[in-house]
Structure 1
Amino acid sequence: MLKQHRKPSMFVRRTIENNEKAGIRPNKTYQSFVAAAGGHRELNFIKKDVRNYITREVRNVSELQDEKEYARSRATCEYFGDVISFDTTYNTNTYNMVFGSFIGVNQHSQSTLLGCALMKNEDIQSFKWLFECWLCCMGGNAPKGILTVQCALMQRAIEACMPTTIHRWCIWHIMKKIPSKLNDYKRHLKIEHDMSHVVWNSHTKELFDRNWNDFLIKYGFVDNKELSGNVF
């Protein structure tokens, strides 16, 4: 069939686009058209046309959309990227990969996505690669501060890629581990209650330092290295 006579219909083009988004291989897509039509000769296009359409139209559009998203993320990061959080607590079920997200806070105190990635491994090289790629996409401007879970490998990667960035642990993850550290104390429920009150209701550094010091003295935790150290 001459090339000028090979032209997939609108239905065929939409099916190709939907199958590509669903991760169906071009060969499978073409074979489904063959089966539905009753043979190769009944189609006015060939397998190569399916591949060409995906390359020329579907993936090219996706790349243009990606460029727009990069630009939007860069602009968002410029305004709301002073202090960010990096979270890897979500796993994808299908491919058993970790979803890492860079999150900022906008002028309405709402979380805003500044970038994301899928990671196969959570080792220092993977973290360094991800941080370097994200910094490159964001124009090379490192945030002033970053909040993460307690992970030594992640901390080393941040120190290597963002040496001027202040790194702190996410308070939610710290508080989540507290009960297991206090279970041996008879009054652990009261201790947890008072600790939560200090953490969540001290809205300035000065007030927190004063309330935290009073809490340590009240329960005799002044010499407790985990609580009297640089935990917060």
Structure 2
Amino acid sequence: MKDVGLWTISKVVLNHSHPCYPNQAEMLKQHRELSMFVRRTIETHEEVRIRLSKTYQSFVAAAGSHRELGFIEKDVRKYITREVRNISEKDDAKEFGKYLVRMKETNQNFFFELNLEGDHCIKHVLWADARSKNAFDYFGDVVSFDTTYNTNRYNLVLGSFIGVNHHGQSTLLGCALVKNEDIQSFKWLFECWLRCMGGKAPKGILTDQCASIQRAIKLCMPTTIHRRCI
């Protein structure tokens, strides 16, 4: 009854589709929990890259059975995703930022721009060393830009700017990581790369069929887009 916010029971079906076992109530979500020992063990295993399934099976073996654990494999997965990897991602983002600063201090021609999200995880980052910047001056007429979805713990998209030198060999012209494959992310990326290269746009860019990439290129630079079929 929507007007009063109450329910009226009109029918009761006592037959159940499966037997009820009150003694298994501890496996209901509200009763499952990870002890401090289990959490520390999960963190240790994650640090040394032990697979989640092996971590869970080690708990099962120690307890004697699944029912004796008081939690399921899904609980372990959620803890890794929400707690362990989130904290690690923030720490690693800080360390990566420090590394980029050290590279800049070593060589002032090293270029980078780092953009973090509100939780201090990487949102966008682009970097190029002096060799890449010099190579662009000679071999930057036509540039290939590719993205590869990285399936590691950070779920970041790796982008690379590639040129071809006078020997027909690929030469790296810059690298980037982006959190999202949307127009605004790629627009940020191309604008940074143009600043890195002194505002000089290539005559042509060879890329794939990603509409976001092509739209971002058109917004950032007057160049011809050559589509690569994948």
TM, length-normalised to structure 2 = 0.47
Query: Which structure: greater strand fraction?
Result: 2
Query: Which structure: greater helix fraction?
Result: 1
TM, length-normalised to structure 1 = 0.46
Larger RCO of the pair (alpha carbons < 8 Å, separation 6+)? 2
